[in-house]
Amino acid sequence: MATIAAVPATGTLINTTTEGGIAWIEMNDPPANTYTYEMMQQLDGAILRARMDGDVHIIIVRGAGDKFFSAGANIKIIAALNGHTVGGGLEIALAADIRLARQDAGKIGLPEVALGVLPGTGGTQRLSRLVGKSRSIELMATGRTFSFEEAEEMGLVNQVFARDTFFEEVTEYARQFLPPRKAARAVGRIKRSVQSGLEMSFAEGLSLERELQQHLFQSEDAHEGLAAYVEKRTPNFKAR
């Protein structure tokens, strides 16, 4: 297992390990893993290095320890919510593509209103895009925190996994997107088409979709996938 770490004068607040196409990025300031300028700086650097690593296809962000994901203040990524995920911690998770939560591990929510402020690190914009305008206003205006199971019901969390096997299940979940099982380039283009398309008009989104599809048709994986379909065999994707 390879280990990469950013080490400024303030010390290591982010740990990164990579193995089998997955980069685990851990916010390491227990018990609450509250974010600071230094942590965000290191987190950005770790994500950028992982994105530039040709052997990494999935990034998973987690919090150190068992109590908090993050209680504090852009990512193809999965957020592994292994503990309380509130305030800025949830705003970090909202920037991820997929959120997986640990059963009975804590609460989730945006309680900034109790401090007289709003969720100002993307929370007001990302939450409303996930759960809708009315519900997002209610959640932020009341500031209430709630269970991961309720978050799953409203579409804020994709899945809740068992507490004792959480990280094993998250790892297996992530592996389904890796070659040779999946065409990682296609997964990435799906992400880009959805994320960017939501910020465009419908016609512009369709144009982007066609452009990305044309690029994929020229890839080795598309040739392999089509050949495997015709030959009735399992494809062997290579992320090329």
Which residues are catalytic, by number? Answer: 91, 112
* Residues facing 240 on adjacent strands: none
The DSSP code sequence of 74-97 is ---EEEEE-SEEETHHHHHHHTSS
Rg (CA), the chain: 19
Which runs of consecutive H residues, i.e. helices, occur in the chain?
37-52, 88-94, 123-131, 133-142, 148-153, 166-175, 184-197, 202-217, 220-231
Query: Which residue from 14, 38, 13 is spatially nearest to 24, judged by alpha carbons?
Result: 14
At 27, which helix (H) or strand (E)? strand 22-27
Q: How far apart are the first and last CA of the chain?
A: 23
